[in-house]
């Protein structure tokens, strides 16, 4: 009963199976081939098993299951894909193997057939270059597990025709996934934006600002990320992630924003891959993550005099907290035993000195993370241990968790957010994708609560810029240089989602 185009899937592994399921469920006749004898049949069996479970749970009608089953076929040889209008390749991630396969497919398929690769890290144009009809070749990058991750990147290689992009977009959206179009650039869209969380998280740990578990807690609980960078690295496996980090850095011609951390190679060499090896940034017992025991809160000293910077967003909440804890709130910093500031961008030391405060009595609380959710307490290098403990005790006196970190321009959350927004702004600047595709791909592919440019707007573009400038000044590292996209929109008071006028 179908007028849907027929689809071939080559490679019946984790991704191939998901792709087979997605398109068969969407009403396409799907044929699956794998070089390993029996693998395609096993994949089809696996997909039918998944669908059978859906029937049992009442999510799929029994007659619909039968229709899908009738639409699924195993190709015993590559030639069995003859007549398919689109073939999606999900074989081993190896340029030589993919090129050889595409060459064979061209001789099997009709001239108008489209060939799509699910590669995550190769340059699609490199695969297409071995083909006689490169206009019909593109990337179609799904995420694991395919039926649940409702986004796919359609990668327009240099010679890909607009019709090929349109066809892939239409079958993907017809299957209920959001299809975002991206240029053939390293990491495409989702893995490109995703770099920020890892590179900056690793940099924070490298500089001894905070521990991996602290970084994860701050970002998960304070910012709404589903997982922190170190939890994610442990899940993916540091051996795998390390190769991705290096490949994206190499493909971007050593762009400092993507410079991998020197912390990684020794840990990979030592086998600290993460969950699969039982130890990574965390330890795992029987597959369960063993959380490090948080440092207990010190006791609150009586009679302490507290001053809070009046401009800080949590100034009044801090004063209430101090009063409720029985401490005295004073009007002049010079009269206080504990001085609390809330800088954007600047580190605690520079802020204390610029405000002419005593650095030994000064601590900083991150204004980025909502005060009621989680608090990050940053010290100057001169903060006394008594002041540190008093501030820690005060900040957790209403039961909210506190993370104590060392001095850093932009704390943890500000640094990571500024990095993510800046990378996204540069993707927009380079026209790798439209703003709408960029924003949606990140929400759907990475599960971030907002698109990165809209998130930058919520924080404030000017603040993002201030954080980047402060980091660049503090470290001299060009990785923090702001994208022209960000600079211009902040200067003009425009939303970071404002497209170029020519587009
Ligand atoms: N696993 C992921 O999370 C993920 C996500 C996005 C993209 N990808 C990409 O998708 C592709 C497949 O990944 P996977 O995780 O499904 O791999 P996998 O190892 O689970 O499956 C690969 C399958 O391809 C078959 N194969 C290998 N060479 C072949 C050939 N020349 N002809 C036919 N079949 C061949 C293998 O027998 C195997 O069944 C890779 O390019 C990978 O980079 C993977």
3-state SS track over 265-331: HHHHHCCCCEHHHCECCCEEECCEEECCCCCCCCCCCCCCEEEECCCCCCHHHHHHHHHHCCCEECC
Query: Is there a catalytic annotation at residue 191?
Result: yes
Query: Is there a catalytic annotation at residue 120?
Result: yes
Q: Going by CA atoms, what residue is nearest to atom 9 of ligand 1? A: 119
In what order do the strands lie in the sheet containing 7-10? 72-74, 30-33, 7-10, 86-89, 114-117, 137-141, 151-156, 178-183
The CA distance from 246 to 315, in Å, is 43
Counting Cα atoms < 13 Å in the Cβ hemisphere of 417 gives: 38
The CA distance from 40 to 32, in Å, is 6
Q: Going by CA atoms, what residue is nearest to atom 21 of ligand 1? A: 13
In Å, how far from its chain's centre is CA 245? 13
Given 141, 177, 192, 392, the catalytic residue: 141
The CA distance from 106 to 114, in Å, is 9
Best CA proximity match to 100, nearest among 115, 120, 83:
115
Query: Is there a catalytic annotation at residue 392?
Result: no
| Burial call 80-103: b when 16+ CB within 10 Å, e when fewer | bbbebbbbbbbbeeeeeebbebbe
CA of 12 to the centre of ligand 1 (A): 7
Does residue 93's CB lie within 6 angstroms of at least one atom of ligand 1? Answer: yes
pLDDT of residue 292: 87
Query: Is there a catalytic annotation at residue 106?
Result: no
The CA distance from 407 to 70, in Å, is 63
The CA distance from 323 to 321, in Å, is 6
Given 153, 200, 231, 309, the catalytic residue: 153
pLDDT of residue 295: 79
Best CA proximity match to 96, nearest among 135, 127, 128:
127
**Distances in Å between the alpha carbon of 193 and those of 92, 140, 249, 378, 451?**
24, 18, 13, 27, 10
- Does 192-290 match 305-400 in CATH topology? no
Q: Under a CB-based contact definition with an 8 Å cutoff, are residues 16 and 89 in contact?
A: no
CATH of region 192-290: 1.10.1040.50
pLDDT of residue 2: 42
Query: Mutate which of 90, 141, 189 to test ligand 1's pocket (most atoms within 8 Å of Cβ)?
Result: 90
What would you measure as the largest C-alpha separation in the chain, in angstroms? 84
Q: Under a CB-based contact definition with an 8 Å cutoff, are residues 83 and 113 in contact?
A: no
User: What is the three-class DSSP state of 47?
Assistant: helix
Best CA proximity match to 203, nearest among 193, 212, 194:
212
- Segment (H or E) for 338: strand 338-341
Write down the architecture of domain 305-400 according to CATH. Answer: 3-Layer(aba) Sandwich (3.40)
Does residue 92's CB lie within 6 angstroms of at least one atom of ligand 1? Answer: yes
**Distances in Å between the alpha carbon of 368 and those of 51, 318, 361, 393, 446?**
45, 15, 22, 20, 21
CA of 97 to the centre of ligand 1 (A): 11
Residue spans per domain, the chain: 7-184, 192-290, 305-400
CATH of region 7-184: 3.40.50.720
The CA distance from 422 to 258, in Å, is 12
User: What is the three-class DSSP state of 42?
Assistant: helix
Residues 6+ apart with CB under 8 A from 48: 68, 69, 72
Give 217-272 pLDDT, tens digit per residue: 999 999 999 999 999 999 999 999 999 999 999 999 999 999 999 999 999 999 99
Q: Tokens 């035993």 label which residue? A: 337
Which regions in the chain score pLDDT beneath 50? 1-2
């Amino acid at each position: 009963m179908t007028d849907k185009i027929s689809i071939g899937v080559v490679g019946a592994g984790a991704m191939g199976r998901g792709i087979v399921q997605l398109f068969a469920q969407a009403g396409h006749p799907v044929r699956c081939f794998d070089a390993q004898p029996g693998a395609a049949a096993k994949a089809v069996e696996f997909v039918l098993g998944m669908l059978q479970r859906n029937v049992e749970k009442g999510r799929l009608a029994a007659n619909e299951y039968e229709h899908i089953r009738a639409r699924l076929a195993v190709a015993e040889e590559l030639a069995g894909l003859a007549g398919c209008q689109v073939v999606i390749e999900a074989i081993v991630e190896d340029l030589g193997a993919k090129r050889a396969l595409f060459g064979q497919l061209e001789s099997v398929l009709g001239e108008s057939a489209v060939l799509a690769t699910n590669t995550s890290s190769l340059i699609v144009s490199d695969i297409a270059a071995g083909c006689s009809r490169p206009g019909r070749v593109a990337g179609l990058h799904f995420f694991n597990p395919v039926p649940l991750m409702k986004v796919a990147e359609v990668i327009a290689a240099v010679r890909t025709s607009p019709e090929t992009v349109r066809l892939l977009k239409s079958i993907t959206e017809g299957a209920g996934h959001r299809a975002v179009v991206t240029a053939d650039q390293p990491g495409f869209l989702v893995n490109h934006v995703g770099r920020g969380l890892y590179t900056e998280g690793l940099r924070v740990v490298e500089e001894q600002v905070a521990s991996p578990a602290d970084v994860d807690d701050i970002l998960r609980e304070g910012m709404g990320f589903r997982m922190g960078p170190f939890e994610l690295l442990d899940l993916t496996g540091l051996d795998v992630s390390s190769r991705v980090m290096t490949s994206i850095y190499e493909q971007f011609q050593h762009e400092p924003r993507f410079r991998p951390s020197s912390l990684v190679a020794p840990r990979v060499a030592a086998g600290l891959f993460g969950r699969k090896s039982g130890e990574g940034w965390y330890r795992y017992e029987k597959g369960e993550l063993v959380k490090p025991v948080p440092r207990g809160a010190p006791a609150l000293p009586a009679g302490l005099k507290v001053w809070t910077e009046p401009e800080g967003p949590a100034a009044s909440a801090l004063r209430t907290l101090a009063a409720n804890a029985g401490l005295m709130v004073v009007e002049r910093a010079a009269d206080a035993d504990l001085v609390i500031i809330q800088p954007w961008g600047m580190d605690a030391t520079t802020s204390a000195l610029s405000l002419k405060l005593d650095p030994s009595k000064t601590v900083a609380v991150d204004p980025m993370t909502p005060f009621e959710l989680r608090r990050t307490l940053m010290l100057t290098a001169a903060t006394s241990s008594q002041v540190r403990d008093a501030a820690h005790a005060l900040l957790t006196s209403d039961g909210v968790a506190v993370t104590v970190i060392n001095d850093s321009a932009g704390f943890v959350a500000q640094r990571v957010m500024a990095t993510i927004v800046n990378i996204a702004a540069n993707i927009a600047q380079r026209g790798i994708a439209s703003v709408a595709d960029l924003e949606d791909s990140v929400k759907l592919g990475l599960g971030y609560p907002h698109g990165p440019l809209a998130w930058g707007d919520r924080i404030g573009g000017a603040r993002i810029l201030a954080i980047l400038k402060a980091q660049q000044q503090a470290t001299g590292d060009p990785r923090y240089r702001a994208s022209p996209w960000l600079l211009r929109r902040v200067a003009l008071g425009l939303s970071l989602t404002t497209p170029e006028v020519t587009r």
